[in-house]
Chain A
Amino acid sequence: MQSTSQQQILAVNDVGCGFDKAQQGELKVLDGVNLTLKEGEIVGLLGRSGSGKSTLLRIIAGLIKPTEGHVEYCGKPLSGPAEGVAMVFQTFALFPWLTVLENVEAGLEALGVAAKERRERALSAIDLIGLDGFENAYPRELSGGMRQRVGFARALVVNPTLLLMDEPFSALDVLTAETLRTDMLDLWNAGSMPIKSVLIVTHNIEEAVFMCDRILLLSSNPGRVGAEIVVPFPHPRNRLAPAFRQLVDDIYAKMTARKQTAGAPRSELHIGSWMPAVSTNLLAGLIETLAVAPYHGRADLPELASSLRLEVDDLFPVAEFLQHLGFAEVSEGDIALTMPGRLFAEEGTQARKLRFAEMLLRAIPLANHIRTVLNERPGQRAPLDRFKQELEDFLSDQAAEETLSAVIDWGRYAEIFSYNDQSEMFSLEDVEA
């Protein structure tokens, strides 16, 4: 397994993961994923929601079995959670009934380490991570940042070879997250941790460029490794350096360019396409912001994201939805309002609704489908279940529910149909035909 310079820690070979669908066969979350982790590197998995990045991380952690392909860890095939692989969770996942010290000791205890050694190792991990003084506190007494430090201490104390991190900073506020990132990088660069390699899942592009030596872009539905980007900067990195900004811009461009290369834009939606919930207020707000100074109809996505404090997972769905509706064009990391978008920005409430309804019926097949069915039905009523079952041929149950609730929200705003949540019925009542 000795490569030219560095030893390989982990290899993921042609891994796929899916779940059974009665009618459609298998629905894939991941498809043909390959990746390797070498000694001494931090690798980022960057992708949007629905790209299966968390699933991939859990496959590597041995928590989920892949349906295809296999994972090799330290040269041996992985079956179940391996020793030497520790994980840090987005939600911290601390046991609320254990103190900080007991939480850190829990992993050692499960390994059968003797009480005295356990205590010593736990205390030194707590010391390393800057938690001294909090040993006897319960998690609920701590702030989010301190809780995640416990999460780190608990992972480090077992002397892992590979550290897995599942969006470890996304539940923290901006400043706390930055402190934890730099502390973690300081420890890594000082070599004070036994960890040989780190794999970090994130949807934050800046975070990935700030921390990683290598970034893998995961595309969505199904998740595949779309591109690999090497980050050449030495630590500590300066977020404001032009080269840093340029790389962030490039990654934005790569992540938005994907759709165009796949085929003709906008025409790829069908009834069973997954739709993320995008609030109509956010949509209107973004159009208004784009229409006026300093953007005057065109903006750089990374710049927009940082000035609006929106993360990729918040910004991309809105931008994409605008593009589907024909209110904007997104390409090469830029977003530009189209003519209907500019008109929308200047109109009053009722005119906006009419324009939105027109665009919605034209661009979103599911919305159009619901309206058509209601028009055809004698009582102009149809149950939710009817559409849910149709969607479940294409999507997982959860994705079907998300999509329907997004479309219901848009349809209500556009007044193209009404929906009663108590009877779970669509109808054309209260809607002028």
Chain B
Amino acid sequence: MRMMIPVIHGSARRLMPNRWDFVAFPLILCIIVLGSTGFRETLAPLTTLQTQTISLDPAALPGYALRTTLRMLAAMLASLVFSLAYGTLAAKSRRAEKVLVPILDILQSVPVLGYISFTVTFFIALFPGRVLGAECAAIFAIFTSQAWNMTFSFYQSMRTIPRDLNEVSSSFHLSAWQRFWKLEVPFSLPGLIWNMMMSMSGGWFFVVASEAITVGNKNIVLPGIGGYLAQAIAARDLGAVGWVILTMTLVILLYDQFLFRPLVAWADKFRMEDTASQAAPQSWLLDLIRRARLIQWLLRPPGQLVLWLAKLPLRLPFGHAAAGSVRKPSRGGDLLWNVLVLLATVFFLWRVVSFVGQEVGLSEVMHVFGMGLATLVRVLVLIALASLVWVPLGVMIGLRPHLAQRIQPLAQFLAAFPTNLLFPIFVVGIVYFHANPDIWLSPLIVLGTQWYILFNVIAGASAFPNDFREAATNFRIRGWQWWRKVILPGIMPYYITGAITASGGAWNASIVSELVSWGNTRIEAYGLGAYIARTTAAGDFPKIILGIAVMSLFVVLFNRLLWRPMYAYAESKLN
């Protein structure tokens, strides 16, 4: 019967629902309904939060999980908008670029949980007496964990658009706005989506941490997975901790299946590579949507709205610098701009130093640096230990394609899983065995981030050219020589990528893992993370700023002096 209907003029036929609609339609309806109820609750007054405590009943968990998921989604949308705007500005304006790129570099070095203390105060002041303020603060915290790498990715894509595609766009007379949607966004999508996935994977950790916040006298617990966990810890309910771990596992799996798999499968067509990929990413949900006629029909109006928006001949304030015209920058303007930037920097520095200096003396600064060193040692030792374990294992897994195919999703899941949910188990153990917290709290900082090392090494070993392996076998290169001369140089760029992500995550994790509690018991390790956590709870702002500034400094120096040179070396010499 299908064959008898002409394909092009079958609009009537396309309106009729087919069997795929029966699966897809309820699914989408359900998502819409859940979303709107979640939003309505955020408009409730703040008092409901304080009166209505978090229920430890497992039946309440799905609702909490929904709230948490929506927060993630809202933060992701905000990050996306931010990335597009900031990245465009940085890529198109030479002067803005000079300021924006270094700022972004610093922003991503500041510990994510460091922002919370300020944003909570700010957003609650912005929406006095409404849950919305606390919600915004939590969403902003997640945003800060997601936005920076996405922005970098978009900015870099914008800078590397092939010249011929730019020329085609110019000869088509596309305006800046049209070029943005027709060329720049599509070209950047694969990188952007990959970074969205990485951001999302890191974000679960922070959403859990940011749902239960105490800043000075403001004690906010938002209904969500993190709020539930905080309540379970306060009530010393190990069973509830088990339930929340199970829920989180399910949520991450669903998020992957319902959001990222379809996105990745869809974005495959934006790759620049010339050849069709051997194993194109697949998604059952995307296939379902593509087959479901009614859904297709419903998706058309919004799709056309987007197309129409993209077609508007809007002129953006910055023209296209991409065209080869030789524009002479005005040197006077540049000079003025540089002076302005310098003045602003000096002014802000002075304000911060004078604010912190009110309360904090030089001895305190030295003390904080000492704690920073303690945390630095912790991060270094644990990344080294994790590397010793996961590099050999990752290589062995990566060189066996069948095994790699099965382990890789598991490693990615483990990297996404918010390990703060597992902290209580460790804490109970430490309390029980009276273990030394300075040592036994340390593993917590790499508990979640070590998996980045594993899955990057697996990816590197999988991509290792077979010719090299065969050549090594042919020349009887074995044992330690094989590791040193063959495989380690081969996976080095991948390993370093993983280690950078892992160490960045470890610094962030130190804020929640050096100071933990179980009911009324508090365990603290000597370190900068514990210092920041303690001063945040006390609402002692000059000290919070000092702690964050020192930690950012450590992270920036760590990246500049260790990781970047290593990465540059691995990229240029070992590839």
Q: A63-B170, A63-B171 are in contact. Are A96 and B269 (CB under 8 A)?
A: yes
Q: Which residue of A lies closest to B167 (CB)?
A: A63
Pick from B167, B269, B276: contact of A97, CB below 8 A.
B269
Task: State the interface size on chain A (CB cutoff 8 A).
Answer: 32
Rounded to whole angstroms, the CA-CA distance of A106 and B183 in the bound complex is 11
Give every chain B residue within 8 A of A89 (Cβ-Cβ).
Answer: 164, 167-168
Shortest beta-carbon distance from B136 to chain A in Å? 35
Does B168 lie within 8 Å of A140, measured CB to CB? no
Which residues of A in the span 117-163 have a Cβ within 8 Å of any Cβ on B? 138, 140-141
Does A110 lie within 8 Å of B173, measured CB to CB? yes
Does B173 lie within 8 Å of A64, measured CB to CB? no
At the interface, yes or no: B178 with Cβ under 8 Å from chain A?
A: yes
At the interface, yes or no: B362 with Cβ under 8 Å from chain A?
A: no
Rounded to whole angstroms, the CA-CA distance of A89 and B172 in the bound complex is 14
Task: State the interface size on chain B (CB cutoff 8 A).
Answer: 30
Does B164 lie within 8 Å of A95, measured CB to CB? no
Does B274 lie within 8 Å of A140, measured CB to CB? yes
At the interface, yes or no: A111 with Cβ under 8 Å from chain B?
A: yes
Does B164 lie within 8 Å of A93, measured CB to CB? yes
Give every chain A residue within 8 A of B273 (Cβ-Cβ).
Answer: 96, 140
Pick from A62, A95, A109: contact of B183, CB below 8 A.
A95
Give every chain B residue within 8 A of A80 (Cβ-Cβ).
Answer: 170
At the interface, yes or no: B323 with Cβ under 8 Å from chain A?
A: yes
Q: A65-B326, A140-B274, A140-B276 are in contact. Are A109 and B311 (CB under 8 A)?
A: yes
Shortest beta-carbon distance from B548 to chain A in Å? 38
Give every chain B residue within 8 A of A111 (Cβ-Cβ).
Answer: 172-173
Shortest beta-carbon distance from A398 to chain B in Å? 13
Give every chain A residue within 8 A of B278 (Cβ-Cβ).
Answer: none
Looking at chain A's contact residues, the main secondary structure is loop
Pick from B165, B174, B323, B325: contact of A93, CB below 8 A.
B165
Pick from B182, B270, B272, B323: contact of A63, CB below 8 A.
B323
Does A81 lie within 8 Å of B270, measured CB to CB? no
Does A93 lie within 8 Å of B276, measured CB to CB? no
Rounded to whole angstroms, the CA-CA distance of A422 and B165 in the bound complex is 34
At the interface, yes or no: B573 with Cβ under 8 Å from chain A?
A: yes
- Which of B165, B172, B189, B274 has the most C-beta atoms of chain A within 10 angstroms of its own C-beta? B172
Give every chain A residue within 8 A of B325 (Cβ-Cβ).
Answer: 64-65
Does A97 lie within 8 Å of B186, measured CB to CB? yes
At the interface, yes or no: B275 with Cβ under 8 Å from chain A?
A: yes
Pick from A58, A97, A110, A140: contact of B178, CB below 8 A.
A110
Rounded to whole angstroms, the CA-CA distance of A96 and B325 in the bound complex is 26
At the interface, yes or no: A345 with Cβ under 8 Å from chain B?
A: no
At the interface, yes or no: A205 with Cβ under 8 Å from chain B?
A: no
At the interface, yes or no: A67 with Cβ under 8 Å from chain B?
A: yes
Give every chain A residue within 8 A of B274 (Cβ-Cβ).
Answer: 140
At the interface, yes or no: A61 with Cβ under 8 Å from chain B?
A: yes
Does B167 lie within 8 Å of A87, measured CB to CB? yes
Rounded to whole angstroms, the CA-CA distance of A81 and B182 in the bound complex is 18
Q: Which residue of B lies closest to A141 (CB)?
A: B276
Give every chain A residue within 8 A of B328 (Cβ-Cβ).
Answer: 20
At the interface, yes or no: B302 with Cβ under 8 Å from chain A?
A: no
Pick from A61, A96, A107: contact of B271, CB below 8 A.
A96
Which residues of A in the span 67-107 have a Cβ within 8 Å of any Cβ on B? 67, 80-81, 83, 85-87, 89-93, 95-97, 106-107
Pick from A64, A91, A138: contact of B269, CB below 8 A.
A138
Q: Which residue of A lies closest to B186 (CB)?
A: A97
Does A58 lie within 8 Å of B167, measured CB to CB? yes
Q: Which residue of A lies closest to B185 (CB)?
A: A97
Rounded to whole angstroms, the CA-CA distance of A109 and B272 in the bound complex is 22
Give every chain A residue within 8 A of B173 (Cβ-Cβ).
Answer: 81, 83, 110-111
What mask results when residues 148 to 184 of chain B are scored 1 for a CB within 8 Å of chain A, else 0?
0000000000000010110110111110001000110
Pick from B178, B186, B311, B323: contact of A64, CB below 8 A.
B323
At the interface, yes or no: B10 with Cβ under 8 Å from chain A?
A: no
At the interface, yes or no: A295 with Cβ under 8 Å from chain B?
A: no
Shortest beta-carbon distance from A133 to chain B in Å? 14
Shortest beta-carbon distance from B96 to chain A in Å? 23
Pick from A19, A93, A97: contact of B270, CB below 8 A.
A97
Does B272 lie within 8 Å of A96, measured CB to CB? yes
Rounded to whole angstroms, the CA-CA distance of A83 and B182 in the bound complex is 19
Shortest beta-carbon distance from B181 to chain A in Å? 12
Q: Which residue of B lies closest to A59 (CB)?
A: B324
Give every chain B residue within 8 A of A62 (Cβ-Cβ).
Answer: 170-171
Give every chain B residue within 8 A of A20 (Cβ-Cβ).
Answer: 326, 328
Q: 29 interchain pairs (CB within 8 A)?
A: A19-B326, A58-B324, A61-B167, A61-B171, A62-B171, A63-B167, A63-B170, A63-B323, A63-B324, A64-B324, A65-B326, A67-B326, A81-B171, A83-B173, A87-B167, A87-B171, A90-B164, A91-B162, A91-B164, A95-B168, A95-B183, A96-B269, A96-B271, A96-B273, A97-B270, A110-B173, A138-B276, A141-B276, A422-B573
Q: Which 7 pairs from chain A and chain B are nearest by CB?
A: A93-B164, A110-B172, A64-B324, A97-B270, A81-B171, A65-B325, A97-B186
A63-B170, A96-B269, A140-B276 known, 12 other contacts, Cβ within 8 Å: A20-B326, A65-B325, A65-B326, A87-B167, A89-B167, A90-B164, A91-B164, A93-B164, A93-B167, A95-B168, A97-B270, A106-B182
